[in-house]
Amino acid sequence: MAEAERIIGTPDTPDAAGAGRQRPGGNAGRGGPSGAEGAQDPAGRPGTDGTAAGADGRATAAERPRGRRRIAVLFTVAVIAYALDLASKMLVVAKLEHRPPIQLIGDWLQLEAIRNAGAAFGFGEAFTVIFTVIAAAVIVVIARLARKLYSLPWAIALGLLLGGALGNLTDRLFRAPGVFEGAVVDFISPKHFAVFNLADSAIVCGGILIVLLSFRGLDPDGTVHKD
């Protein structure tokens, strides 16, 4: 019986002992590195790779212009400015041309229909074709800027410029005396000042807004720089 117990129990004892020795050692060997790796993976990957990726992601997001492009705002403002200018000129030609001026505020402000072959406010009447080309160039430049436009104030400013330029360009192309030489319809006549129209007003307001935005360091892409 003792011999049988020895034969049966002898293999189990070393195995059990070996298992007892190997499991702590094996678990320590396998579990130690695994545990270290497990400790490093949550702390290392999210803490190193993940954090770096998150930081890079945040940095990239911060560098990118925020929000959607403002192309829709630009063209909406341009369409409104152009429509108001075109409608006012049609009304002036139909109701006011070849008639006495209409006084709005005494002699200080009146409506008077005048055909202007020059630039805004009646300047440069001898350079009608040049002003027509300049207006067309302004439209092309604004269309190119629209691709990187993320700033709402810039969208409004460029929309005013675009609408005003289109309004006067329409007169240059379709009014007498001919294509590229057409006279612009002006009708707003303040006292001691040149006669102008709504397109001229839109161009001037858009230009003033662009100057203010430039002084503030705001770029069309929405970024702010400091000189």
Question: What does 50-115 look like in DSSP terms, one character per residue?
Answer: IHHHHHHHHHHHHHSPPS---HHHHHHHHHHHHHHHHHHHHHHHHHTTTSPPEEEETTTEEEEEEE
Count the alpha carbons within 13 Å of 79 in the hemisphere toward its beta carbon: 6
Q: For the chain, which ranges sit under pLDDT 50? A: 1-65, 126
Q: Is the Cα torsion angle 133, 139, 143, 145 positive or negative in sign?
A: positive
Q: Is 186 a catalytic residue?
A: yes
Task: Give the pLDDT of residue 77.
Answer: 97
Q: Give pTM, 2 decimals.
A: 0.67
Structure tokens at 86: 């075109």
Cα–Cα distance between 39 and 77 in angstroms, integer?
58
Task: Give the pLDDT of residue 104.
Answer: 92
| The one catalytic residue among 186, 219, 221, 227 | 186
Q: Is 85 a catalytic residue?
A: no
Burial of 144 (0-12, 13-18, 19+ CB in 10 A): exposed
Crossing angle (nearest 10°) for helices 71-95 and 198-216: 150
Chain centre distance of CA 73: 9
Task: Give the pLDDT of residue 127.
Answer: 54
Cα–Cα distance between 104 and 189 in angstroms, integer?
10
What Å distances lie between residue 44 and 40, 51, 156, CA to CA?
Answer: 5, 9, 48
Cα–Cα distance between 40 and 37 in angstroms, integer?
5
Cα–Cα distance between 25 and 19 in angstroms, integer?
9
CB atoms within 10 A of CB 71: 17
| The one catalytic residue among 200, 219, 221, 227 | 200
